[in-house]
Every structure is written in structure tokens, then in C-alpha cells.
Structure 1
Amino acid sequence: MKTKETFRCSACGGQSPRWQGQCPSCGEWNTLAAVTVAAKSGKARS
């Protein structure tokens, strides 16, 4: 299973695909922390 890294805000729980200094959801500064999640498979199952 592949994994990918996303960033979650400790203030509001918002997520961002890359680190930013400011949370795009709530606007708080320096609250994004890296979280490893399972990546979705690009293959369709029938």
C-alpha cells in the first residue's frame, strides 16, 4: 500500500497537500503538521 504525506492544522483540523506557513482553512500561523495517510489507488476495480 502506498502512502502519502499531507499536512493537518492543529487548530482547526483543516488539511493541505503541502506545507504552508499559514493554514488555508483558518488562517492560523505555524499550525500545520505532517501526517502520513494511505494513498488512494488510481486503478478502478470492476
Structure 2
Amino acid sequence: MTYLSYIGYTLLTCVNTVRNKNAVEKVTKRNIILRFVTQLNPAFAYNKS
């Protein structure tokens, strides 16, 4: 690998890690929200009936 291609490769891996980190954060946030909602759901169902 030449020096320039090495720099390009490192830049690409950096960008990919940032993207993956963002995706993981989005998924974990959604999972937390879903867990919270599912915990609240029985209470809502109980109040309605």
C-alpha cells in the first residue's frame, strides 16, 4: 500500500466507525424508548378498562 492509499484507508475506517457508532446509539435509544413504553403499556391498559 502506498502512503496516500494508506491515508485514504484510515480516513474511510474513521468515517465508518463514526457512522457505526451513530447507528448503534440510535438503536440503543430506540430500544430504551421501546422498553419504557412496553413497561408503561400494562398500566395504560389497566386504567382504560
- Is TM more than 0.5 here? no
Q: Structure 1 or 2: larger helix share?
A: 2
Q: TM-score, normalised by structure 2?
A: 0.18
Bigger RCO of structures 1 and 2 (CA < 8 A, at least 6 apart)? 1
Q: Structure 1 or 2: larger strand share?
A: 1
